[in-house]
A = this chain, B = another copy of it.
Amino acid sequence: MGGKTPHSALSDALTAEDVATYLRETPDFLQQHPDVVHHLIPPPENRGNGVADLQHFMLLKLRREVADLTAQQEELIATARANINNQSRVHAAALYLMDAQSFEHLIQTITTDLAVLLDLDLACLVMEQPEDSRLVLHAERSGLQLVETGAISQWIGKRDIILRGNIQGMAEIYGPAAPIVRSEALVRLQIAPDAPAGLLAFASRDADLFHPGQGTELLSFLARVVERCIRNWLTL
């Protein structure tokens, strides 16, 4: 037989010669199993006979096209499924944030529950050294990380969101958990025009879970929800 190797255990037991013998003795095989025709590429024949050769060429082309379209379709469906999953995770997270019963509870929800709800390894809230004493107070008790003024712009420039794969997590963001971080999404938070800059960081052990070029709509939406929830509790 040719370069192709059959995969199933069943087929392993058959030789090409067995099948050829069977088919020679069973001329109506394709009539009984018309779908099989569809899987087979007929041999090029009638060299010099234009019609058969052209058809053979077209067959190969069409079959490649079917394979390409099928692969694209599988990818489209997988992407659509992933989007629906991500969407419902982000929606569950948004509602959960809105359900927080106090500012402290909100911060705790962001830094502990959010990662679970989004099926990620870590979610962190970073604020540049704030004037607001309530934030300073909470930094000691919850997962809020405080950094020097300017640090966030240094990490993400002027962008509102940045996705990075294949990285080492920064201790300034993730604290002692930094070593497990292999990819991240960093989303800028602007709680109020005059509030210190903030950052929502989502991280995964998977070096490829976040990577440039991914859609950012859902995480951006979640950041906008976080901004509003914080504003609401601080009555900013």
Chain B residues closer than 8 Å to A69, beta-carbon distance: 66, 69-70, 73
Chain B residues closer than 8 Å to A159, beta-carbon distance: none
Interface residues of A in 192-222 (CB under 8 A from B): 217, 221
Q: Contacts A37-B42, A51-B46; is A29 near B1 (CB within 8 Å)?
A: yes
Chain B residue, CB-CB nearest to A222: B91
Cα distance, A10 to B16, chains bound together (Å): 12
| Residue A6 interfacial (CB < 8 Å) | yes
Chain B residue, CB-CB nearest to A88: B217
Q: Contacts A21-B8, A43-B34, A46-B52; is A228 near B76 (CB within 8 Å)?
A: no
Is B41 a contact of A51 with CB atoms below 8 Å?
no
Cα distance, A123 to B45, chains bound together (Å): 61
| Residue A138 interfacial (CB < 8 Å) | no
| Residue A40 interfacial (CB < 8 Å) | yes
Cα distance, A29 to B10, chains bound together (Å): 16
Chain B residues closer than 8 Å to A18, beta-carbon distance: 10-11, 14
How many residues of A are counted as interface, with CB atoms below 8 angstroms from the partner's CB atoms? 78
Is A1 a contact of B32 with CB atoms below 8 Å?
yes
Cα distance, A225 to B217, chains bound together (Å): 18
Which of B27, B87, B94 lies in contact with A39, CB distance below 8 A?
A: B27
| Residue A77 interfacial (CB < 8 Å) | yes
Chain B residue, CB-CB nearest to A7: B25
Chain B residue, CB-CB nearest to A34: B43
Q: A1-B32, A38-B58, A69-B69 are in contact. List 17 more A-B contacts (CB 8 A).
A: A10-B18, A11-B25, A14-B18, A16-B26, A16-B33, A27-B41, A28-B41, A30-B42, A37-B43, A42-B51, A42-B58, A45-B50, A62-B66, A66-B69, A84-B217, A95-B228, A98-B225
Residues on A lying within 8 angstroms of B by beta carbon are: 1-4, 6-8, 10-11, 14, 16, 18-46, 49-52, 54-59, 61-63, 65-66, 69-70, 72-73, 76-77, 79-80, 83-84, 87-88, 91, 94-95, 98-99, 217, 221, 224-225, 228, 232
